[in-house]
């Protein structure tokens, strides 16, 4: 039986780790808030009281954490992954972080015997629950092949996109497209409502034409109901758009629409709405349009 150390049992990590348990893997889970560990144990996993405990004896280590500093602390820290993982272990870093961070982890692992992949995901909480995430993987081809059986449990689409850091670069592009699409769907919904159109019917016909997209399919109903229960929080997408802007600047690429959406997301964050779903961009469109949010 393959043993997996899973670090980060948040909105995405908990169902992902749970799917590995259901598939028959021996999974030791760690999270800074112990309540998530208790919930994981109640669903059949093993609880760990520290990163070191989760990592020791693991064939595969998966990290699913909020940001680059969290990942660096967990992986590179004195009691972190590289200090405790066995030689030959495979670290699959599935958080969304800077491409430079992914490359640094791979470089720091050189000489430790630990192999590293950056494998960020797209698909939100529901994709994590259903095991249908899209996983973009950067690293050595042989390591991607070794991780295949695990990644196929977590995702419906698993693609090796290039060397270390490439997975994070593709994820940045993903977040750029998702944020822009949410903003346009939000603007369209407010536009339709202002004209007194039956918005549910309008969304249905829009989804069937060239304007159809996954945001309309998966987010529009919640947006119409003003239900912004987080599947992916504003604060995380705000962070991700910062990654996009920094990476674009490094490459000399201009992303004018992306920059505009980044500012709108930053406004939501500054107003204290970081805990809402990123589809809450709709409420900002209402505010800018002089309409009282429903």
The count of residues in the chain is: 294
Alpha helices in the chain, H assignment, sequence order: 13-22, 34-42, 51-55, 68-76, 81-84, 99-109, 124-130, 141-154, 166-194, 199-207, 214-225, 234-251, 256-270, 281-288
Selection from 19, 14, 54 nearest residue 35 by Cα: 14
Active site positions, annotated: 171
> Which token pair is 111?
């000489």
Selection from 49, 57, 64 nearest residue 96 by Cα: 64
> Which token pair is 89?
């272990």
**Residue 91, Ramachandran bin (φ over 0: left; ψ between -120 and 50: alpha; else beta):** beta
DSSP helix/strand/coil, 212: coil
> Which token pair is 153?
């449990």
Q: Could you give the count of Cα atoms lying within 13 Å of 137 in the half-sphere of its Cβ?
A: 25
DSSP helix/strand/coil, 166: helix
- Which residues lie closer than 8 Å to 244 by C-beta, 6 or more apart? 172, 173, 175, 176, 255, 258, 262
């Amino acid at each position: 039986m393959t043993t997996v150390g899973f670090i980060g049992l948040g909105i995405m990590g908990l169902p992902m780790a749970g799917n590995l348990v259901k598939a028959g893997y021996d999974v030791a889970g760690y999270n800074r808030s112990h309540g998530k560990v208790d919930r994981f144990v109640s669903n059949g996993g093993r609880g760990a009281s520290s990163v070191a405990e989760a990592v020791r004896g693991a064939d595969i280590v998966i990290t699913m954490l909020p940001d680059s500093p969290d990942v660096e602390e967990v992986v590179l820290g004195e009691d972190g992954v590289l200090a405790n993982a066995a030689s030959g272990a495979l670290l699959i870093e599935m958080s969304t972080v800077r491409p430079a961070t992914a490359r640094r982890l791979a470089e720091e692992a050189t000489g430790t015997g630990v192999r590293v992949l950056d494998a960020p995901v797209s698909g939100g909480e529901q994709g994590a629950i259903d095991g249908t995430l899209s996983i973009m993987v950067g690293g050595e081809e042989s390591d991607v092949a070794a991780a295949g059986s695990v990644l196929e449990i977590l995702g419906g689409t698993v693609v090796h996109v290039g060397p270390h850091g490439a997975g994070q670069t593709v994820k940045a592009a993903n977040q750029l497209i998702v944020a822009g699409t949410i903003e346009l769907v939000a603007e369209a919904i407010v536009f339709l409502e202002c004209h007194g159109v039956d918005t549910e019917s309008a969304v249905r016909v829009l989804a069937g034409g060239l304007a159809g997209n996954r945001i309309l399919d998966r987010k529009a109903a919640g947006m119409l109901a003003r239900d912004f229960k987080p599947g992916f929080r504003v604060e995380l997408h705000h962070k991700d758009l910062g990654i996009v802007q920094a990476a674009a600047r490094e490459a000399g690429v201009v992303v004018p629409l992306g920059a505009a959406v980044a500012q709108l997301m930053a406004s939501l964050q500054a107003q204290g709405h970081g805990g809402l779903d990123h589809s809450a961009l709709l409420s900002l469109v209402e505010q800018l349009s002089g309409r009282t949010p429903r």
